[in-house]
Structure 1
Amino acid sequence: DRNQVIEDVREVENYLACSIHTRSELVVLIRDAGKIVGEFDIDSDTVGAFTQEDEAVLEEMGALISGRVASLASSYGSG
């Protein structure tokens, strides 16, 4: 129930990557009224690619779109 910044995915046991080239990952949750309605999930082929600023920008973007994401999820029966 929180954002994740993984500096080096090779150090995480049981990590499931979308690509064999993934080295770091940033996951930022999108919330609407306290409920998780989506997420940004960004991979990089560089170890330690993501900063706190990257996380903060994605949190701001999530806040801007969360209402619409929740509405769409509701419309399609997944919310």
Structure 2
Amino acid sequence: MTARNPDAVEHTASPGVGAVMVDRRNGKVGVVMGHVGPYVQLRPPRGGREWDVPPEDVRPPTTAEELSAKVAVANRRWGR
């Protein structure tokens, strides 16, 4: 199994709402909540305030980052 390279430049269409992405500028994982103007809006997986990211500064998460985000969401559901 090959791990994804988080620094690889990927040319894809804007990520869809609900996709898990990473802000390249600070390494924060977020869920795509929408698109406003030229920006992708991300929200932390456990909830919280959204932030805007230029589309060229988002990338797909590594397998470990995606799993960590999903665990955070599950923990929130269970009040942990």
> Which bin holds the TM-score, normalised by the shorter protein?
0.3 to 0.5
TM-score, L = length of structure 2: 0.33
TM-score, L = length of structure 1: 0.33
Bigger share in helix:
1
Larger radius of gyration: 1
